[in-house]
Amino acid sequence: QQQVKQSPQSLIVQKGGISIINCAYENTAFDYFPWYQQFPGKGPALLIAIRPDVSEKKEGRFTISFNKSAKQFSLHIMDSQPGDSATYFCAASNFNKFYFGSGTKLNVKP
């Protein structure tokens, strides 16, 4: 049983468009929700993270929207660029345990 469900599995966006990736969770004890970006052959790297007492967090072109009542959170990438092409993972954490979504492979077309 997957603790964090992520969609879509893959996403194709035109340069300049908005990329949106969604995640849902069940465990209300989760208190930290990071997003990671992974390029081929590399380890994941933290992109942006949010805590459940905040509904939105923005860092540059990346925004997390968090809906506590729906137990959902999403990543928005504004003005998507070819360099954003990578696999994105959402995650949820409770104390020391981390649970990851299955990943979204984003392809930004020039």
Do 32 and 19 form a contact (C-beta atoms < 8 A)? no
Tokens representing 62 are: 């990346």
Binding mask 25-64 for other proteins (x = CB under 8 A): -------x-x------xxxxxx--x---------------
Residue number with CB closer to other proteins (42 or 110): 42
Among 77, 80, 89, 106, which residue sits at the site for other proteins (rule: CB under 8 A)? Answer: 89
**Those residues with Cβ within 8 angstroms of residue 104's Cβ, 6 or more apart along the chain or in another chain:** 6, 7, 8, 9, 10, 11, 21, 87, 88, 89
Q: Is 100 in the site for other proteins (CB under 8 A)?
A: yes
> Where on the chain is the footprint of other proteins (CB under 8 A)?
4, 6, 9, 32, 34, 41-46, 49, 89, 91, 95-103
